[in-house]
Structures are given as C-alpha cells and as structure tokens.
C-alpha cells in the first residue's frame, strides 16, 4: 500500500473514531447532565458541609472523566499517554472541586444558622482603581481628609471650606455604595430618630461588627431599653422566620444577662416579612417596622462640643470619628443638614485623628 493510501486510511479511521466518540459523548453527557441536576438539588437541600455530600460530587466528576479516559485507552487507535495525562488532571480537579464544595457548604450552613453573617460579606471595603488614582494626586497631609475621595485636586484646593465640604457631602450621598455601607447608614438613621425622642443610643452593630449578634442598636431612656435589629434590604427580598428566630435568641440572651431591665425588641426593615415570619414575631413579642425606608434628607452632620476645651467641631458622615461622637442637646450639641449652618454656628470641620507615633 502506498504512503498516500496509508495516510488516507488513517484519516478515515480517525474520522470514524471521532464520529463514534461524538455519538458516545452525546448520549453520555445527556445522562450525566440529568445526574448532575439530581446531585445539585441534593446539595441545595443538604447544605451542611458534610464530607459524604462532597464525596457525591467527587464521584460524579470521576465517572464523567472515566468515560473520556476509557475512550482514549480503548478506541481503535489508542492514546495511552494522553489518557494518563487526563487521569492525573482529573484527580487534581476532583480534589479542587471537593475543597471548593466543602467551603461553599460550610459558608451556607453558617449563614443559615446565623443570618446576620450575610450582611457582613461586604464589610471589607477595597477602594476602586479610580479612587486610588485620585488619591495619588494629593499630598500626604491632604489624604488625611476623607473629603478628597469626593473632590478633584483643583476643587479641594480652591473652593472655600463651606463649599468644599458641602460638595463632598452631596457627592457622598449620590455616589453608589456597598451593601455594607448602606446597612450602616440605615442603622445611623434609625438611631438618629430615637435620639430625637430622648433615647441614649448605643450603636452596637457599627462598633462590634461580628460580635453584635444581631443587636444593631440598644436604646435607653430611664429604665426602658429597646433592642433593635435593622435590615435595609431591596424590596424584592423577604425576611423569613430564621431571621426572627436569630433576633429573638439575641434579645433573650440580653434579657437573661440584664434581668433588672425592661427590654423591648423591635425589628426594622426596608422590605417585608413572610407571613410565617410575621406570625412568629407576634408570638415572640417582637414589634415590626416593615417597609421602613431610609430618608437621606435627614440632618446627618454632627455638631459636637469638646469636653476637653470646649472646641466646636462638626463631623460629616464619612469622617473618622463620626460614629464615636454622641450628640447631647444639654451641652449645646445638635444635628444639622448643611455645612453652612454648622459653620455659621461657630463649628469647624473635624480633623482626621492620627495617634501619636512612637519615636
């Protein structure tokens, strides 16, 4: 047989192998897709992070890879070396898939038993590339002022203090925000409303983060205490009974630790509860504030008088000491809506706090 004929025959054989493999793969993959749907559904129902569930995924991928390996080894014109490479890579992939699934199931399990963890996913804030580029334009001293995040270099250096700070504040409200920051602003707003009613408000959620156990605000007026949880969610999300259970648990713990206090529990949310969650809240004596929206127009500037030397300082919502600053009306302190109002009353903008460095 001539070289031409042999080459033609080999190409014909390869084409036949390819056609047979295509038919085999079409049939096998349809079957495997159905199996995968079953495994995925099982995973959704049993997201607990147990090894046996992850093993199910691993076996599924193993069977899927096995069909490819067998074809390469036992087809008419075998490719043993290629099948060994596929086998090794398949093993590494299964290990990676197993570790990934364990992590996914553990996270889902923890979020299921502690729903407040879901709201903390975005707590780590990373500046965007655009913001980092803007900050490169400023001196080290200027960067200490958070207003530089919202102003160009020319605006920051040329505008009078009132216009500069008001422009930064206006842009702060208009700029898109992370879910975590939106949740924090919602807590501030609800707390502000209770401060106006004469309550002393402890912003537990803002200061303690993971340790707040769902107690975002603790409001006190005399012997009366209110424990509040805030959830500023989109209108399309629903509060379910697990969230109510978790909140009830942390309120119960607070009552148990403070038996001499009269404690009320209130759940604020920008969305609504499921019918079952609403029933549980009623039975557990948790007051509900559903569809409670955040009003960005509230006066958010804090005008504070220093207890050390009486210096009058105002804090914008993005300033470093904002959340640590409490407003006491008896000391001539107040909230206001505009920078102009604060400066007309004799208050100056707060400087960024920088602890003393060791020499």
Confidence band, pLDDT 50/70/90 cuts, at residue 7? low
Could you report the per-residue pLDDT of 171-213, keeping only the tens digit for each? Answer: 999 998 888 889 899 999 999 999 999 999 999 887 665 455 6
Confirm if 349 and 156 have CB atoms less than 8 A apart: no
Q: What is the pLDDT of residue 296?
A: 83
The angle subtended at Cα 353 by Cα 350 and Cα 356, nearest 5°, is 145
Q: Is the pTM of this model over 0.85?
A: no
Take residue 172 and report the two structure tokens written for it: 């702060």
Q: What is the pLDDT of residue 92?
A: 74
Q: What is the pLDDT of residue 179?
A: 83
Residue 103 vs residue 248, higher pLDDT: 248
Residue with tokens 């898939």: 97
Q: What is the pLDDT of residue 283?
A: 94
Low-confidence winner among 17-31, 99-113, 160-174 (lowest mean pLDDT)? 17-31
Could you report the per-residue pLDDT of 60-100, keeping only the tens digit for each? Answer: 666 656 665 565 555 555 555 655 665 666 777 777 777 77
Residue 286: pLDDT over 50: yes
223 φ, ψ to 5°?
-95, 0
Could you report the per-residue pLDDT of 9-67, keeping only the tens digit for each? Answer: 655 665 566 566 556 555 655 665 665 565 555 555 444 445 555 566 566 666 656 66
Of 269, 339, 267, residue with least CA distance to 303: 339
Q: How far apart are CA 230 and CA 180, in angstroms?
A: 12
Q: What is the pLDDT of residue 355?
A: 45
Q: What is the pLDDT of residue 208?
A: 63
Q: What is the pLDDT of residue 353?
A: 46
Could you report the per-residue pLDDT of 237-281, keeping only the tens digit for each? Answer: 899 998 999 899 999 999 999 998 999 999 999 999 999 999 999
Q: What is the pLDDT of residue 297?
A: 86
Confirm if 182 and 233 have CB atoms less than 8 A apart: no
Confirm if 193 and 233 have CB atoms less than 8 A apart: no
Residue 168: pLDDT over 90: yes
Q: How far apart are CA 1 and CA 296, in angstroms?
A: 86
Residue 121: pLDDT over 90: no
Pairing type for strands 262-269 and 224-231 reads parallel
Residue 135 vs residue 269, higher pLDDT: 269
Which domains does the chain possess?
Answer: 12-113 (no CATH), 129-174 (no CATH), 179-289 (3.40.1350.10), 301-349 (no CATH)
Q: What is the pLDDT of residue 266?
A: 97
């Amino acid at each position: 047989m001539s070289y031409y004929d042999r080459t033609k025959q080999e190409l014909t054989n390869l084409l036949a192998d390819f056609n047979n493999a295509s038919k085999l793969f079409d049939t096998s993959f349809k079957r495997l897709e159905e199996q995968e749907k079953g495994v995925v559904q099982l995973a959704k129902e049993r997201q607990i992070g147990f090894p046996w569930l992850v093993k199910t995924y691993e076996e599924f991928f193993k069977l899927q890879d096995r069909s490819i390996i067998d074809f390469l080894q036992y087809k008419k014109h075998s490719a043993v070396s290629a099948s060994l490479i596929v086998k090794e890579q398949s093993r590494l992939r299964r290990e990676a898939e197993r570790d990934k699934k364990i992590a996914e199931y553990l996270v889902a399990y923890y979020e299921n038993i502690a729903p407040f963890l879901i709201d903390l996913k975005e707590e780590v804030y990373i500046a965007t590339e655009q913001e980092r580029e803007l900050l490169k334009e400023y001196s080290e001293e200027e960067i200490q002022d958070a207003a530089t995040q919202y102003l160009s270099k020319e605006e920051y250096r040329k505008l009078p203090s009132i216009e500069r700070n008001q422009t930064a504040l206006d842009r702060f409200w208009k700029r898109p925000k992370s879910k975590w920051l939106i949740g924090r602003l919602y807590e501030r707003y609800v707390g502000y409303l209770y401060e106006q009613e004469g309550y002393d408000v402890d912003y537990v959620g803002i200061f303690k983060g993971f340790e707040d156990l769902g107690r975002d605000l603790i409001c006190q007026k005399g012997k009366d205490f209110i424990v509040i949880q805030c959830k500023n969610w989109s209108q399309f999300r629903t509060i379910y009974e697990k969230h109510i259970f978790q909140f009830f648990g942390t309120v119960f713990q607070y009552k148990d630790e403070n038996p001499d206090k009269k404690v009320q529990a209130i759940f604020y949310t920008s969305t609504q509860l499921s019918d079952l969650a609403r029933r549980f809240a009623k039975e557990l004596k948790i007051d509900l504030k559903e569809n409670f929206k955040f009003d960005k127009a509230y006066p958010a500037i804090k005008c504070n008088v220093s207890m050390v030397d009486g210096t009058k300082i105002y804090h914008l919502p993005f300033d470093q000491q904002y959340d640590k600053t409490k407003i006491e009306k008896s000391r001539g302190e107040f909230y206001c809506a505009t920078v102009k109002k604060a400066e007309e009353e004799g208050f100056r903008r707060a400087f960024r706090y920088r602890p003393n460095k060791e020499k």
